[in-house]
Amino acid sequence: AVRNSMRAAALLVALVVFPRTGDSHTTRLGTHAPAARARFSTTRSRSTCMAAGGLSLGPLGMGTWAWGNKLLWGYDPDQDAELQLAFDEAVKGGVRFFDTGDSYGTGALEGRAESLLGDFRRDLGRSRPRLASQCVFGTKLAVYPWRLTSGSFVDACRASLDRMGLDQVEIAQAHWSAQRFQPWQERPLWEGLADCYDLGLCRAVGLSNFGPQQLDKCLDYMDSRGVPVALDQVQFSLLSTAPLQSGLIDLCRERGITPIAYSPLALGALSGKYSLDKLPKGPRGLVIGQVLKGARELTGTIEDIARARRRTPAQVAINWAMRKGTVPIVGARSVAQVRDNLGACSFKLSTAEVAELDAAGRKVRQPATQNIFMTS
């Protein structure tokens, strides 16, 4: 019971947290592995991405945070069939990177997202083996306070592989850095990830919530071990632009890893689906309502551009993140959501439109903070 409570607490503080106060790109691999041409490119955005280990990520990824999460997303096992249809639609539409984590799923459903992804990939492999083989799974290992040794992270990776029914996952990731709150865990975390690669449990490793200084240090360590680092995931949207201001995205380019933008729609606040009079139930509705109060000019600008382009607000917000040099990962629980997300890849915002969105974003009264685990 104590451990379950600690897990719940660790997960809650790792969520997207909002404060209570106050050009076309090609992401390339530099120092960590030989560069290669990506197979996925969209008709008009011409955005490609190859990562360490020769992994083709594509310009848009799919997140699975909601799969198994009853608290924020109202998951029910009866949704599994629809989730599988969404997965199949994403793969057929060109999505290659699927992000998950061993903590995804609340309570007894912890790890549910990994299990579902593994099942869906196997089922797809029976009818479309080539497509299934092109999937790139990245699972994030939670830096729980009881994971104190490198071996504990190796064990966690093995458990994730068991849930996904795999002998090797494409990318094993650190869900967050321990530097801010439990710095004594940081080196065992790095060592554990490197050991996962050396043991053949993954083709590359990845990071999440590592700021520029800590990222640079970790990359130096991984280089010393000969371990390819594919990506760094950070919270990034028109409501949370810190990775641009800190120089993190530029550093990722310099060091040859892919910056992944998670929560590009800010829990749905930028999706165009919600307003102060129409909010989702539960904690997510409280968060979205809080941020929308001070973001009317931004949401209005997004809507204006969407109307002019005959696109959806979500597509505009996602495309903005692409234009800033990131690969966004967007959650989806239905075929309709997947198709809407994929629509973000079929056009490119103009420089003037990007500047207009930037200006509106700077006027938001209460922008989103970074995840509390985000390091300097």
Residue 104 among the catalytic residues: yes
Q: Which two tokens stand for residue 58?
A: 């594509």
Please list, in sequence order, all residues whose beta carbon lies within 8 angstroms of the beta carbon of residue 312, skipping any fewer than 6 positions away: 272, 306, 340, 343
- Whose tokens are 């969407």? That residue is 306
- Which residue among the candidates 75, 104, 144, 274 is catalytic per the annotation? 104
How deeply is 70 buried, as exposed, middle or buried, from its count of CB atoms within 10 A (0-12, 13-18, 19+)? middle
Q: Which two tokens stand for residue 218?
A: 């970790």
- Separation between Cα atoms, residue 18 and residue 25, nearest integer Å: 29
- Separation between Cα atoms, residue 257 and residue 253, nearest integer Å: 6
Query: Which pairing describes strands 48-51 and 55-56: parallel, antiparallel, or unpaired?
Result: antiparallel
Determine the distance from the C-alpha atom of residue 219 to the mean position of all C-alpha atoms in its chain, rounded to a whole number: 19
- Separation between Cα atoms, residue 25 and residue 275, nearest integer Å: 32
Active-site amino acid positions = 104
